[in-house]
């Protein structure tokens, strides 16, 4: 049985996007002339399935393969280093006669381990940073592609068909951006908000 874990933020984002689209449809599809700012032009929207992009896009699949390979390479390197350390420890246990020699091997093991541990952390941090950079490049590419599609098809908004992903709106036209008006209306209510 598959379990789905829905975060409150993603559900809220999906609901907000849906409400936004419904409001925009009413605003932009007013057949009686509508607001002078927008005229009677209807809102044109489309969807893009973000989860399908991640599953089927060669770019996404290639990045996943690169990350998997880099992770495997680092793990292999770490395994080899740890095996080296285990061999040193084993050699110290094999020396039955000389406590001094065992102590030397143990000291060498401790020194090597003290060097290896920070190296492992550095490698992991480098992998994490690389992963962030690659994912940001992919995200930027998806946004560019959707913006190009919006221009090609003269769309006002492109929504992600998978509302449970972080990015619910891929593209929105400045023509439908009501942020300035919202700020102006909010600023008019400042006294109600702060109580002065």
pLDDT digits over 133-185, tens only? Answer: 888 888 888 888 888 998 998 988 888 877 667 778 888 888 777 678 777 77
Q: Structural domain of residue 19, as residue ranges? A: 8-179
77 falls within a domain: yes
Give the pLDDT of residue 196: 63
Residue 179 in tokens: 């942020």
DSSP letter at 39 equals: T
pTM of model > 0.75: no
Give the pLDDT of residue 16: 64
Q: How many domains does the chain have?
A: 1
**Coil vs helix vs strand at 9:** helix
CB 157 within 8 A of CB 24: yes
Q: What DSSP assignment string belongs to 135-195?
A: HHHHHHHHHHHHHHHHHHHT-SEEEES-TTSS--EEEE-GGG--HHHHHHHHHHTHHHHH-
169 falls within a domain: yes
Give the pLDDT of residue 152: 92
β partners of residue 158: 46, 171
194 falls within a domain: no
User: For the chain, which ranges sit under pLDDT 70?
Assistant: 1-41, 92-97, 163-164, 178, 192-196
92 falls within a domain: yes
61 falls within a domain: yes
Give the pLDDT of residue 69: 92
152 falls within a domain: yes
47 sits in which H/E element = strand 45-48
Q: Which of 27, 23, 4 lies closest to 15 in space, CA to CA?
A: 23
190 falls within a domain: no
143 falls within a domain: yes
């Amino acid at each position: 049985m598959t379990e789905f874990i829905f975060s409150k933020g993603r559900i809220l984002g999906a609901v907000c996007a849906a409400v936004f689209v419904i409001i925009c449809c009413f605003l932009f599809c007013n057949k009686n002339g509508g607001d002078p700012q927008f005229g009677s032009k209807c809102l044109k929207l489309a969807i893009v399935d973000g989860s399908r992009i991640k599953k089927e896009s060669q770019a996404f699949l290639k990045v996943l393969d690169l990350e998997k390979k880099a992770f495997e390479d680092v793990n292999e390197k770490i395994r080899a280093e740890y095996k080296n350390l285990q061999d040193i420890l084993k050699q110290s246990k094999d020396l039955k006669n000389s406590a001094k020699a065992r102590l030397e091997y143990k000291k060498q093991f401790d020194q090597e381990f003290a060097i290896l541990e920070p190296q492992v952390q550095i490698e992991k941090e480098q992998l994490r940073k690389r992963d962030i950079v690659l994912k940001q490049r992919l995200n930027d590419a998806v946004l560019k592609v959707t913006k190009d599609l919006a221009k090609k098809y003269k769309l006002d908004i492109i929504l992600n068909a998978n509302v449970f992903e972080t990015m619910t709106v891929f593209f929105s036209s400045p023509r439908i951006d009501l942020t300035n008006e919202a700020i102006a209306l909010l600023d008019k209510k400042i006294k109600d908000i702060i109580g002065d």
